């Protein structure tokens, strides 16, 4: 085979590969109910927090894909919050995660808000390609999901249509609502930058004066295990949201001290439920034994830091337990805001191979990302493919000219 034919074959192969690469993505919709009751003798409906996910993948179909889609809970026996994507399948008819083929441009989300309740919906759409408009038609209005980041619904049944279309202009960053914990900057529902959020986890609990309220979290990448506190007064159902971050929170002015294990924001309730509404608050968290060993860090160096009053403040932290994989800690806190699990050690107490804090934090998050690099959470980079193709083309042409 001649050199020219070989080079032509390489060019065609690279062009085919780069053009056929499909960007898979998914986006989350967070649905939280806030029950209320005017009858003091009857408690409000039970709280509920649902996460519905939609997206595209080159490995998905328009129907049910058992290895990609996730089924939603069955129809409840009582009046309760429901949210699901309908599915045309002989067995599976309700999806919590609806991933479609690469050419999909619309999803239908069914929402049932129970009696004596209202629902707040927030969304993360930073994974959706920037050249797409994203709209939500509620039946009474059409919401620009890039221009807004939250909406709400009263009691009733709703059919929400989410649609994508080509954009001819630069998209607008989502605005930050007036409610929610924290403020300033970013563009997420809480103010945190969308692109800095790794995962979210949420829970709800009834807050009664003088009674311990506990929130447990099970998201694998979230190393906050539980949060508990006593209410100063009766507040009803209060939700708690944890945002696990890829790097330092965009809501703070400086990185936390030490070797950072994990960055996070913790939001309890809304703006009306401030730190003065709680007492005896503690946060339970865990740290990987593998991470401690790799960085030569002792458990006594681990502490939880909270950002408040423009600076990072170390919280009183104690070691409470351990198992084969993790060491467990508990820290008291006067309130909720950005937090960091970090290790501050004296010089000479850390192995020479230990990286600076920011590099260790990024390396740990990146390692976690690699584990989830398959399926719908992996995103290709079309720009890089085009660049690589150009470099190869220039190299081959230069080589051929040199031979002539």
Give per-residue pLDDT as tens, 207-233.
889 999 999 998 899 999 999 999 999
pLDDT, mean of residues 38-55: 66
Specify the pLDDT at position 205: 82
Give per-residue pLDDT as tens, 61-79.
888 998 889 898 888 888 8
289 and 161 within one domain: no
- What's the CA gap between 386 and 382, in Å, rounded? 6
> Looking at per-residue confidence, does 244 or 392 come out higher?
244
Dihedral class, residue 310 (left if φ above 0, else alpha if ψ from -120 to 50, else beta): left
- What's the CA gap between 86 and 106, in Å, rounded? 12
For residue 111, tell me if it sits in a domain: yes
Percent of the chain whose predicted confidence (pLDDT) is above 70: 70
Specify the pLDDT at position 398: 67
> Looking at per-residue confidence, does 362 or 37 come out higher?
37
367 and 218 within one domain: yes
Q: Lowest-pLDDT range, 264-278, 280-294, 319-333, 376-390?
A: 376-390
Is the dihedral angle over the CA atoms 350, 354, 357, 360 positive or is it negative? Answer: negative
Specify the pLDDT at position 374: 42
Instruction: Give the strand order in the sheet containing 317-322.
Output: 212-216, 224-231, 278-288, 326-332, 317-322
85 and 143 within one domain: yes
116 and 254 within one domain: no
Q: Is the confidence at residue 266, as pLDDT, over 80? A: yes
Work out the pLDDT band at 358, boundaries 50, 70, 90.
very low
The structure tokens listed for 262 are: 């994990």
Work out the pLDDT band at 31, boundaries 50, 70, 90.
confident
Give the contacts of 173 (CB within 8 A, at least 6 positions apart). Answer: 146, 187
Specify the pLDDT at position 401: 63
Specify the pLDDT at position 187: 38
* Number of domains into which the chain is organized: 2
Specify the pLDDT at position 263: 97
For residue 131, tell me if it sits in a domain: yes
For residue 384, tell me if it sits in a domain: no
349 and 210 within one domain: yes
137 and 238 within one domain: no
Q: Which residue has the tokens 């959470």?
A: 377
Q: Which range marks the domain in which residue 30 is found?
A: 26-165
Cα–Cα separations (whole angstroms), residue 249 to 64, 119, 189, 193, 232: 37, 27, 14, 8, 29
229 and 361 within one domain: yes
Cα–Cα separations (whole angstroms), residue 125 to 276, 300, 345: 33, 40, 39
For the chain, report the end-to-end CA distance as a whole number of angstroms: 17
118 and 236 within one domain: no
Q: Residue 306: beta bridge partners?
A: 313, 339
> Looking at per-residue confidence, does 159 or 37 come out higher?
159
For residue 12, tell me if it sits in a domain: no
80 and 210 within one domain: no
For residue 20, tell me if it sits in a domain: no
H or E element, residue 321: strand 317-322
Displacement of CA 398 from its chain's centroid (Å): 46
Specify the pLDDT at position 38: 59
63 and 137 within one domain: yes
pLDDT, mean of residues 331-357: 72
pLDDT, mean of residues 37-60: 71
Q: Is the confidence at residue 351, as pLDDT, over 50? A: no
Work out the pLDDT band at 20, boundaries 50, 70, 90.
very low
Specify the pLDDT at position 354: 36
Specify the pLDDT at position 176: 35
Assess contact for 191 and 251: CB atoms under 8 A: yes
Q: Is the confidence at residue 379, as pLDDT, over 90? A: no
Q: Is the confidence at residue 329, as pLDDT, over 90? A: yes
0.85 exceeded by the pTM?
no
337 and 286 within one domain: yes
Specify the pLDDT at position 180: 34
pLDDT, mean of residues 6-33: 64
- What's the CA gap between 143 and 150, in Å, rounded? 9
């Amino acid at each position: 085979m001649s050199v020219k034919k070989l080079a032509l074959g390489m060019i065609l192969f690279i062009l085919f590969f780069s053009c056929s690469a499909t960007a898979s993505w998914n986006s989350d919709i967070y649905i939280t109910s806030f029950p209320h009751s005017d009858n003091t003798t009857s408690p409000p409906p039970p709280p509920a927090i649902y996460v519905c996910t939609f997206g595209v993948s080159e490995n998905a179909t328009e129907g049910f894909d058992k290895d990609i889609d996730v089924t939603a809970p069955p129809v409840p026996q009582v009046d309760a919050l429901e949210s699901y994507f309908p599915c045309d399948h002989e067995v599976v008819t309700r999806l919590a995660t609806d991933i479609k083929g690469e050419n999909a441009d619309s999803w239908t989300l069914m929402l049932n808000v129970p009696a004596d309740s209202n629902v707040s919906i927030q969304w993360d759409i930073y994974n959706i390609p920037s050249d797409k408009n994203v709209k939500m038609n509620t039946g009474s209005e059409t919401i620009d999901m890039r221009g807004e980041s939250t909406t709400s619904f009263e009691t009733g049944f709703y059919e929400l249509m989410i649609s994508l279309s080509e954009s001819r202009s630069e998209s607008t960053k989502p605005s930050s609502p007036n409610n929610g914990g924290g403020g300033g900057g970013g563009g997420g529902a809480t103010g945190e930058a969308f692109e800095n959020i790794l995962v979210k986890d949420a829970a709800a609990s009834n807050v009664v004066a003088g009674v311990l309220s506990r929130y447990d979290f099970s998201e694998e990448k979230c190393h906050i295990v539980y949060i508990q506190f006593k209410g100063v007064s009766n507040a009803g159902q209060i939700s708690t949201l944890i945002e696990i971050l890829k790097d330092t929170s965009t809501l703070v002015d400086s990185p936390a001290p030490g070797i950072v294990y994990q960055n996070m924001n913790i939001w309890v309730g809304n703006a009306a439920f401030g730190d003065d509404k709680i007492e005896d608050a503690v946060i339970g968290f865990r740290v990987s034994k593998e991470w401690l060993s790799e960085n030569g860090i002792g458990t006594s160096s681990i502490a939880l830091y909270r950002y408040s009053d423009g600076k990072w403040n170390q919280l009183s932290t104690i070691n409470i337990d351990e198992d084969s994989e993790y060491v467990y800690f508990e820290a008291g806190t006067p309130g909720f805001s950005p937090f960091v699990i970090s290790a501050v050690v004296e010089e000479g107490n850390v192995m020479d191979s230990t990286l600076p804090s920011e590099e260790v934090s990024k390396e740990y998050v990146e390692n976690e990302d690699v584990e989830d690099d398959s399926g719908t959470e992996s995103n290709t980079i079309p720009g890089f493919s085009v660049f690589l193709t150009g470099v190869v083309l220039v190299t081959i042409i230069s080589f051929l000219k040199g031979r002539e």
